[in-house]
DNA sequence: CTGAAAGCGCTTACAG
DNA sequence: CTGAAAGCGCTTACAG
């Protein structure tokens, strides 16, 4: 009978009907206490577990959430963005807390991912983490919404679609403000500051605001595009260094970019923070171990993960679409201050 | 009809029976080419997806794998062992490649986790990553096996149960050999070298073998217990430093321990690698960014993840239980050599 | 408080 | 090549 007992087996043994077994196992108040006890006892002995597929088919809900992580196009394809990875933990934990299973999937920018999960009833809703180009992504999101799929996305609010995000502008402002307070005025921004990458764009807005407030001009030449990888950050920084823009600090739009930037600076024979101060964004695990330890803007992945799950669950229950902004926090380490 | 089309809807529209629709969608050679085309066309228009629960209920298989990660008891409970996290990627990818979904779950050392997944038909098999105490874990493993659950475990082979593991003894040998070649002879081992932690125990065996081969004695006082966390590694190292054992190198049983060890050494005002050389184990992402970059024994998580999935799938197909040993590789960085 | 029955949406012998 | 039918194992009105 190894792991194969059904509610009918229990019914036979308990001398009740299969419906009563089902009710008892679900703690229905309709069932007599003693009957319930007896049924549960037998179920335990048989090592019985409710068949997930049968019950899901019947109730039309799977009690499962799907987490889709969109890989950034990295050169090293096995490297998943560590920031997302750290969010994984809290999302998994939050799902479990609400008695939901979590289906995990890493996506390439394939065409029909959006339909796969909820339509096949694999999941009651999906959590979206990361994406390639925001402009390409938007129509897919819209389609999800039109299909009535339950989902929540990590990213800046757009079109009133459900999303959780940190306040990137505030983060950018804090980072820049910090560098200004360390007496820098020519601060480079490394990251794609365009609608194709709204996160970075917002960080750039915060950067610009801080500069303006301090009476400094915004110089487009101090901005260089980069996607969120070490390699890209390295190349962008090299380009900037060669352009001889006479800057003394870098605000990297992500920690991964900052890692590349630091590598470039070291290779150029310059020193951090004496020649260049650097601030990153995310506070990935690596940041505090770096040489020098990286000043950065922390996004609280723990809170974020929980918020994602709870918003999605709300959404599934039919509550209003939500947009939540989390507060980022400046973490000062030695890449931006002289010790 | 939003995401709610069934095979019957398609049957009506195509003017065939529901059985034919089902066959056509599964590319049955029995069905007429044109009929198949037509059915698929309509399915696409309706955005139809086969209902996972209905098909799984019928076929009695879920095409899903469950990955259970057992959290080490860390002080910082949100921190999942980065080594496991990096294995996640390849496991997910390998599952997808074989058309299996992946269910993710972080486990505390709860009592009845072992029954939950396969018995409820949620998964066709499970992958086990990490555990607390190996001695406590063994009976659960045995029960899994007796229940006929399909599973594979990351860890040293034991009792002929299916497992994938790196050759820890060889890794320990390589690490120690390397330190010996750098002219160290009094080398401390930090990690729990007992049956409660077979991985570390095997690494210790390799360490001992290398020492003996080089004609050096094994000194029990140079070994201190530690679980695989930064904090524990820090405390163990502090203890060792105070015991004044006159050692010049440390082989830490994991990178996390090495991180703690380095912290302890720095706090004691000593310098790496001039006062102490350090070698870790795992090659987690952080290792190469540390100050100094950490010499370590790399376990190839990419190969490991794939091997886990493929062994499990083999197991599900009824093939013999397998045990695979992967080769670890010494990565020399500046924590163990003077530059 | 309990039971008999319907039905969730598939897959697959069985019959033609 | 196609269709009618059974059945996977549940949950839940419906009737008592």
Residues A19 and A84 in one domain: no
Residue closest to A314 by CA, chosen among A56, A105, A96, A125: A125
For residue B300, CA distances in Å to A119, B281, B282, B326 come to: 36, 11, 8, 8
Query: Does the CB of B8 sit below 7 A from strand D?
Result: no
Residue B329 lies in a domain: no
The verdict on a CB contact (< 8 Å) between A80 and B62 is no
Contacts of A92 in chain B (CB under 8 A): 104-106
Torsion of CA B331, B334, B336, B338, to 10 degrees: 130
Residues B83 and B184 in one domain: no
Residues B152 and B216 in one domain: no
Distance of alpha carbon A73 from alpha carbon A67, whole angstroms: 19
Any B CB within 8 A of A195 CB: no
Residues B79 and B113 in one domain: yes
Residue B338 lies in a domain: no
- Residue A109: the pLDDT is 58
Asked if B253 and B203 touch (Cβ cutoff 8 Å), the reply is yes
Any B CB within 8 A of A45 CB: no
Q: Which residues of B spanning 7-66 put their CB closer than 7 angstroms to strand C?
A: 7-8, 18-19, 22-23, 25-26, 48, 50-51, 54-55, 57-59
What are the backbone dihedrals phi and psi of residue A199, each rounded to the nearest 5 degrees, phi first?
A: -55, -55
CB burial of residue B161 (10 Å; 0-12, 13-18, 19+): middle
- Residue A192: the pLDDT is 93
B92 vs A101, A106, A119: nearest CB:
A106
Query: Does the CB of A59 sit below 7 A from strand C?
Result: no
| B216 CA: distance to closest CA in chain A (Å) | 34
Distance of alpha carbon A253 from alpha carbon A203, whole angstroms: 7
In sequence order, what are the residues at sequence separation of 6 or more whose Cβ sits closer than 8 angstroms to the Cβ of residue B305?
B87, B88, B89, B90, B91, B92, B93, B94
- Residue B105: the pLDDT is 85
- Residue B248: the pLDDT is 95
Distance A102 CA to C3 C1' (A): 37
For residue B257, CA distances in Å to A85, B106, B172, B178, B260 come to: 21, 22, 15, 19, 5
Angle (deg, nearest 10), helices A82-97 and A255-267: 160
Distance A17 CA to D16 C1' (A): 15
Residue A335 lies in a domain: no
Distance of alpha carbon B157 from alpha carbon B311, whole angstroms: 14
Residue B211 lies in a domain: yes
- The pLDDT-based confidence of A117 (bands split at 50, 70, 90) is low
**Residues composing chain B:** 339
Residues A193 and A283 in one domain: yes
Sign of CA dihedral A131, A132, A133, A138: negative
pLDDT in tens, B205-250: 999 999 999 999 999 999 999 999 999 999 999 999 999 889 999 9
Residues B197 and B280 in one domain: yes
Among B161, B185, B215, give the residue marking a domain's end: B161
Asked if A326 and A164 touch (Cβ cutoff 8 Å), the reply is yes
Any B CB within 8 A of A291 CB: yes
A53 vs B49, B56, B119: nearest CB:
B56
Asked if B253 and B232 touch (Cβ cutoff 8 Å), the reply is no
Residues B141 and B210 in one domain: no
When mean pLDDT is compared across B30-34, B78-82, B127-131, B134-138, the lowest value belongs to B78-82
| Nucleotide with C1' nearest the B39 CA | D2
- The pLDDT-based confidence of B111 (bands split at 50, 70, 90) is low
Q: Which of B61, B64, B122 to mutate to test the interface with A (most CBs of A within 10 A)?
A: B122
Residue B149 lies in a domain: yes
Residues B194 and B251 in one domain: yes
Question: How much is the average pLDDT of A231-239?
Answer: 95
The edge-to-edge listing of strands for the beta sheet with A277-279 is A223-224, A187-190, A249-252, A277-279
Any A CB within 8 A of B46 CB: no
Domain residues for the domain of B283 are 168-299
The verdict on a CB contact (< 8 Å) between A106 and B85 is no
Distance B323 CA to D2 C1' (A): 48
- Residue A145: the pLDDT is 81
Per mean pLDDT, which of A124-133, B172-181, B311-320 is the most reliable?
B172-181
Residues B173 and B279 in one domain: yes
- Average model confidence (pLDDT) for chain B? 89
Contacts of A2 in chain B (CB under 8 A): 147-148
Residue A117: which CATH number? 3.40.50.2300
Assign A23 to helix, strand or coil.
helix
Query: Does the CB of A61 sit below 7 A from strand C?
Result: no
- Residue A118: the pLDDT is 67
Distance of alpha carbon A83 from alpha carbon A81, whole angstroms: 5
Residues B199 and B292 in one domain: yes
Nearest residue of chain B to residue A4 (CA atoms): B119
- Residue B339: the pLDDT is 65
The verdict on a CB contact (< 8 Å) between B106 and A96 is yes
Residues B101 and B180 in one domain: no
Query: Does the CB of A26 sit below 7 A from strand D?
Result: yes
DSSP count for chain B of H helices, then E strands: 12, 12
- The number of CA neighbours under 13 Å toward the Cβ of A231 is 7
Query: Does the CB of A39 sit below 7 A from strand D?
Result: no
- Residue A75: the pLDDT is 41
| A72 CA: distance to closest CA in chain B (Å) | 13
When mean pLDDT is compared across B27-36, B73-82, B265-274, the lowest value belongs to B73-82
| A54 CA: distance to closest CA in chain B (Å) | 6
Distance A20 CA to C3 C1' (A): 8
Among B116, B144, B161, give the residue marking a domain's end: B161
Distance B121 CA to D8 C1' (A): 12
* Nucleotides in C strand less than 7 A from protein CB: 1-5, 7-13
Per mean pLDDT, which of A170-174, B55-59, B79-83, B299-303 is the most reliable?
A170-174
Give me the number of domains chain A comprises: 3
Contacts of B89 in chain A (CB under 8 A): 78-80, 106
The answer, yes or no, to whether residue B263 has pLDDT greater than 70, is: yes
- Average model confidence (pLDDT) for chain A? 89
When mean pLDDT is compared across A85-94, A134-143, B36-45, the lowest value belongs to A134-143
Asked if B127 and B309 touch (Cβ cutoff 8 Å), the reply is yes
Residue B327 lies in a domain: no
Residue A328 lies in a domain: no
Any B CB within 8 A of A185 CB: no
Residue A229 lies in a domain: yes
CB burial of residue A291 (10 Å; 0-12, 13-18, 19+): middle
- Residue B182: the pLDDT is 95
Residues A152 and A185 in one domain: no
């Amino acid at each position: 009978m190894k792991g194969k007992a059904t509610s009918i087996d229990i019914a036979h043994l308990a001398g009740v009907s299969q419906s009563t077994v089902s009710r008892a196992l679900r703690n229905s108040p309709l069932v007599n206490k003693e009957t319930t006890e007896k049924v549960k006892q037998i179920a335990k002995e048989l090592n019985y577990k409710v068949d997930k597929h049968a019950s899901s088919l019947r109730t039309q809900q799977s009690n499962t959430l799907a987490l889709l992580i969109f890989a950034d196009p990295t050169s090293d394809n096995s490297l998943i963005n560590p920031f997302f990875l750290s969010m994984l933990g809290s999302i998994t934990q939050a799902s479990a807390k609400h008695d939901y299973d979590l289906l995990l999937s890493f996506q390439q920018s394939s065409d029909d991912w959006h339909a796969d999960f909820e339509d096949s009833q694999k999941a009651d809703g999906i959590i979206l983490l990361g994406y390639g180009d925001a402009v390409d992504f938007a129509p897919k999101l819209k389609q999800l919404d039109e299909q009535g799929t339950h989902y929540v996305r990590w990213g800046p609010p757009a079109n009133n679609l459900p999303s959780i995000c940190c306040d990137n502008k505030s983060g950018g402002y804090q980072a820049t403000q910090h560098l200004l307070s360390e007496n820098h005025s020519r601060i480079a921004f490394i990251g794609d500051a365009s609608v194709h990458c709204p996160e970075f764009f917002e960080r750039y807005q915060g950067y610009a605001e801080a500069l303006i407030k301090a009476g400094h001009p915004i110089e487009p030449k101090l901005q260089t595009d980069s996607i969120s990888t070490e390699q890209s950050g390295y190349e962008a920084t090299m380009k900037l260094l060669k352009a001889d823009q006479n800057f003394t600090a870098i605000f990297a739009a992500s920690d991964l970019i900052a890692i590349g930037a630091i590598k470039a600076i070291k290779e150029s024979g310059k020193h951090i923070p004496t020649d260049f101060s650097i601030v990153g964004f995310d506070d990935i695990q690596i940041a505090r171990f770096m040489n020098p330890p990286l000043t950065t803007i922390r996004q609280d992945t723990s809170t974020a993960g929980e918020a994602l799950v709870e918003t999605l669950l709300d959404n599934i229950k039919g509550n209003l679409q939500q947009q939540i902004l989390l507060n980022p926090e400046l973490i000062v380490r030695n890449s931006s201050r002289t010790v």
